Amino acid sequence: MLVEINDLLQPAQLKKIDEILSKAEFVDGKLTAGKAASRVKNNEELKGEPQQMQLLIRILTSAMAHNPTFRSAVLPYRMADPIFARYQSGMTYGDHVDDPLMGLSGQRFRSDVSMTLFLRDPETYQGGELVVRTTFGEKQVKLKAGSAVIYPSSSLHHVAEVTQGERMVALAWMQSYVRDPAQRELLYELDLAREDLLTSAPEAESTGLVDKSYANLLRMWGDV
């Protein structure tokens, strides 16, 4: 399941992130890549100072926590520290899957859901599409600044070569309360229907049944 989230960041949040990144140092992205990824990875990543990273993480986690689509589609349990990646002309990231286990310190956790948050408007650079392989073929994603896409971390995906301009994104990985992507998709769709019914027909018996079914499926499939 790919879910696009428009305006995950508010303009003020996006502006603050731009201010921080404009003064920050970026290093070769291969420094954080495993053996397989290092062969196909050609980008730069933020070498964040502790204070910079703490502020960036606070901005992102606040945006995620207040976004109902993110909460419903991901059902987040744990999240790895985000990475801020820059692609300049000629840079790309070939086919890969994300690491199954995340976390450099403390408790490690499973990556279930990946997120790419776009920090540059699509008309400011050429190429740089996120290309995710799905059962229905390849899906290309290139969203406006402040918008994000989430997709299963197990998906084979790549970043098309940037041929002009600069692509800047934030990347995050979450462990979900629900491990199975098919179950997460069913819960997400059921939650959309539930929220609609709770608004349009809160007293209806069918609304109560849908609400009950959602809660009990989450109880059945939830992994804590």
Which CATH number covers residue 64? Answer: 2.60.120.620
Name the band, by pLDDT with cuts 50, 70 and 90, for residue 32. confident
Whether 197 and 95 share a structural domain: no
Q: How deeply is 11 buried, as exposed, middle or buried, from its count of CB atoms within 10 A (0-12, 13-18, 19+)?
A: exposed
User: φ, ψ for residue 35 (rounded to 5)?
Assistant: -60, -45
Burial of 31: CB neighbours in 10 Å, binned 0-12, 13-18, 19+: exposed
- Looking at the structure, tell me whether residues 185 and 158 fall in a common domain: no
Q: Is the pLDDT of residue 133 over 90?
A: yes
Do 153 and 196 reside in the same domain of the chain? Answer: no
Same domain, 55 and 80: yes
Check residues 65 and 80 and name the one with the higher pLDDT.
65
DSSP assigned state of 80: P
* Same-domain check for residues 168 and 84: yes
Residue numbers of the domain that contains 192: 181-221
Tokens for 53? 């990273």
Structure confidence at residue 31 as a pLDDT band (50, 70, 90)? confident
Instruction: Let me know whether 124 and 77 are in one domain.
Output: yes
171 shares its domain with 198: no
Give the C-alpha separation, 170 to 168, whole Å.
Answer: 7
Domain end (from 141, 157, 176): 176
- Residues 157, 196, single domain; the answer is no
Residue 106 pLDDT = 65
31 and 88 fall within a common domain: yes
- What is d(CA 187, CA 191) in angstroms, rounded to the nearest whole number? 6
Q: What is the pLDDT of residues 69-112, one digit of tens each?
A: 999 999 999 998 899 999 999 999 999 999 999 876 667 899 99
- Considering the domain architecture, whether residues 187 and 109 belong to the same structural domain is answered as no
CA–CA distance, 77 with 138 (Å, rounded to integer): 28
pLDDT of residue 104: 67
- Regarding whether 207 and 189 lie in a shared domain, the answer is yes
Average pLDDT, the chain: 94
What is the C-alpha to C-alpha distance for residues 142 and 168, in angstroms, rounded to an integer? 11
The tens digit of pLDDT for each residue in 164-208 reads: 999 999 999 999 999 999 999 999 999 999 999 999 999 999 999
pLDDT of 22 strictly over 90: yes
**52 and 15 in one domain?**
yes
Number of separate domains in the chain = 2
Contacts of 106 (CB under 8 A, 6+ apart): none
| Token reading at 84 | 């801020």
Strand partners, 114: 151, 173
